[in-house]
A and B are shown apart, each in its own frame.
Chain A
Amino acid sequence: MADLYTVNKSPFEKNSLEDAIRFSSEGASILLIEDGVYGAMAGTAVSDLVAGATGRKFYALRADLKARGIAEDRLIDGVELVDYAGFVDLVVNHDKVQAWL
């Protein structure tokens, strides 16, 4: 197993997503919640962060994407959507959770 990293900041505001990638190893999972979901959008100035982070699995919280009007067809390929129950499953199925606020 590996760790789950949660990121709740827009990558345009703070470097939390960059940190989560930099301080994780291959096999880690990164869950984008709250303003963190902006990091899941394709075609932005920071999309390469996620697209280029090989060996990390990215998830985004569906409720937070929907609240912000981000359609699923705007997302970076490979980002998986979860609901809160899926969030709980991710927590349970990883060694621990690191919150990158």
Chain B
Amino acid sequence: MKLAVQVNEGPYQHQATDSAYHFTKAALEKGHEVFRVFFYHDGVLNGTRLTTPPQDDRNIVNRWVELAEKYDLDLVLCVAAAQRRGIVDDGEAERNGKDATNIAPKFRISGLGQLIEAAIQCDRLVVFGD
């Protein structure tokens, strides 16, 4: 089955992103297609490579990256939410005159249309949030 996942919360602050990760991983391991994971609201904070959690804790950002590498998962950060919260890729840095980027590998920044498209294309949308 074709699934879409929406993540509304940032890492560490709320368990939503942990739930979303474990759900997505289980779905992929069962052979389902996860068409896209869309990060919205503070969820875009899942996509900064500058995260440095203590060594005895899970690395939520790297965990997403590794899952994306293994399954060619589409990890999309909402552009409007990302701009508000300072998540920047090369394109955004150039467009908005920023002197740095911080997006993690395997993540990309795109519009809200990507969420709508996922909802249209997929058999199920599963939302994780606060």
Interface residues of A (CB under 8 A from B): 6, 8, 33-35, 61, 63-64, 83-85, 87-89, 91-92, 96-97, 99, 101
Contacts and interface: CB of A to CB of B under 8 A. Distances in A.
B30 A34 contact: no
Contact of A92 (B8, B32, B130): B32
Given A34-B19, A97-B127, 20 more contacts: A34-B15, A35-B15, A61-B19, A63-B22, A84-B25, A85-B26, A87-B23, A87-B26, A88-B27, A88-B30, A91-B3, A91-B27, A91-B124, A92-B124, A96-B125, A97-B124, A97-B125, A97-B126, A99-B127, A101-B130
B39 interface: no
Contacts of A83: 26
Contacts of B32: 88, 92
- Which secondary structure dominates chain B's binding surface? mixed
Interface residues of B, number: 21
B16 A88 contact: no
Interface of B: 1, 3, 8, 15-16, 19, 22-23, 25-27, 29-30, 32, 124-130
A8 B25 CA distance: 19
Contact of A34 (B16, B29, B125): B16
B28 to A, nearest CB: 9
- Which secondary structure dominates chain A's binding surface? helix
Contacts of A63: 22
A30 B63 CA distance: 28
B34 to A, nearest CB: 10
Contact of B29 (A85, A97, A99): A85
A22 to B, nearest CB: 19
Contact of A91 (B19, B29, B126, B129): B126
